Structure 1
């Protein structure tokens, strides 16, 4: 299994966003993770279109977009056309979630479901054949710097068991520390969204951090 390390660009230095992106790419990180919030579905505002366009223009690596917004289906075409490779949506935010996932695939992009801490596996089970990624939120979405919610581990284990019957990868997002990466990668989690718990604001270079995190899956 190849581990996917995904910098959460909401935690990057916005005054030097282009340089941050270049340094992270050079260090070998895999997917640039972009949080888009509307202040309604979650009580915060995230990155903007200009931030997304800058990062997309700067890197050749994969870029995902996590749409923490109401009615995300209205914006699939927009972000697909801007160059998102993976588009995550929430079932609670979309009354036509099947149509939205199919539209993501029709645009030639990878479809993902983001699963809130309070959302059960049964709620999304019928959608599992339609998605390429399941991103389990291990904090309540909307803010960086929260505490990891241990009860979500049971949901991660459940989705890993079900994954044998489908083609999706299991990702995790929220307070992902090096120790969490070590434990969860040993269970079979593929991808880790990295914020201040493991990547940003550390007293090491991005290259040093990337190498240390890779070793955790061996």
Structure 2
């Protein structure tokens, strides 16, 4: 399974999203963070903005719902053109049902874990999901520092997956300095926001990350 980069538009210029999406057009994934100000202490964008930017995304639109009651918005994000829809295990009372609803709509289903959430909670639904997102910072804001214990969690998830075709995505505090260590631990999709969009040359920074994944 090839390693892939997923720029997070949380760190893009929201007044120039079309421009910034063109700058990262060589990335395999585009990571869209949706926050509601309740599950996390920040508010970002919703399905209408996701739908508007979909036509400017060449690859996979990867939507990360950091919200309460994600079931209420599954149809909206399907209509927006989402390829992968990830929900938080901490926000889903009936996680299995949520996953099934996502897949019934034709999307790939992902499950995310906050830093303090143990990976063992994935065991009952491991055969039903397509992506596991390890949060390596506490969600809500960009530009935070990578939590070192996340490397151990990545290794645990890799062992749990075994031969299953499930992507391991890591989000939070990823930089050029630690990306190789994260990949070596087992990550297959690297999410990076400020490390990409705050770079002097965004296009070159995508290539720099890609060179670490060979």
Cα distance in 2, alignment partners of residues 10 and 72 from structure 1? 19
- Written as runs of structure 1 = structure 2, the 5 A alignment for 1:1-218 is 1-25=1-25, 28-196=26-194, 198-204=195-201, 206-218=202-214
Cα distance in 2, alignment partners of residues 137 and 65 from structure 1? 14
Cα distance in 1, alignment partners of residues 66 and 168 from structure 2? 18
Instruction: Please give the per-residue CA displacement for 1:57-116, whole angstroms capped at 9, x wherever unaligned.
Output: 222311011111111111111101211000000111111111110011111110000110
Aligned Cα root-mean-square deviation (Å): 1.3
5+ residue gaps in structure 2? Answer: none
Aligned residues of 2:154 and 2:185 also touching (Cα < 8 A): no
Cα distance in 1, alignment partners of residues 145 and 182 from structure 2? 16
Secondary structure (helix, strand or coil) at the match of 2:187 reads coil
Aligned residues of 1:64 and 1:85 also touching (Cα < 8 A): yes
1:48: Cα distance to partner?
A: 3.0
Cα distance in 1, alignment partners of residues 89 and 115 from structure 2? 13
State the number of aligned residues.
Answer: 214
Aligned residues of 1:7 and 1:199 also touching (Cα < 8 A): yes
Structure 1 length-normalised TM: 0.93
Cα distance in 2, alignment partners of residues 50 and 76 from structure 1? 13
Cα distance in 2, alignment partners of residues 45 and 65 from structure 1? 15
Instruction: Please give the per-residue CA displacement for 1:144-163, whole angstroms capped at 9, x wherever unaligned.
Output: 11111111221111001122
Aligned residues of 2:183 and 2:213 also touching (Cα < 8 A): yes
1:165: Cα distance to partner?
A: 4.2
5+ residue gaps in structure 1? Answer: none
Aligned residues of 1:32 and 1:61 also touching (Cα < 8 A): yes
Instruction: Please give the per-residue CA displacement for 1:168-202, whole angstroms capped at 9, x wherever unaligned.
Output: 11110001011221112223310011111x21111
Instruction: Please give the per-residue CA displacement for 1:17-76, whole angstroms capped at 9, x wherever unaligned.
Output: 111112211xx1111111111111111112233321221122231101111111111111
Aligned residues of 1:18 and 1:54 also touching (Cα < 8 A): no
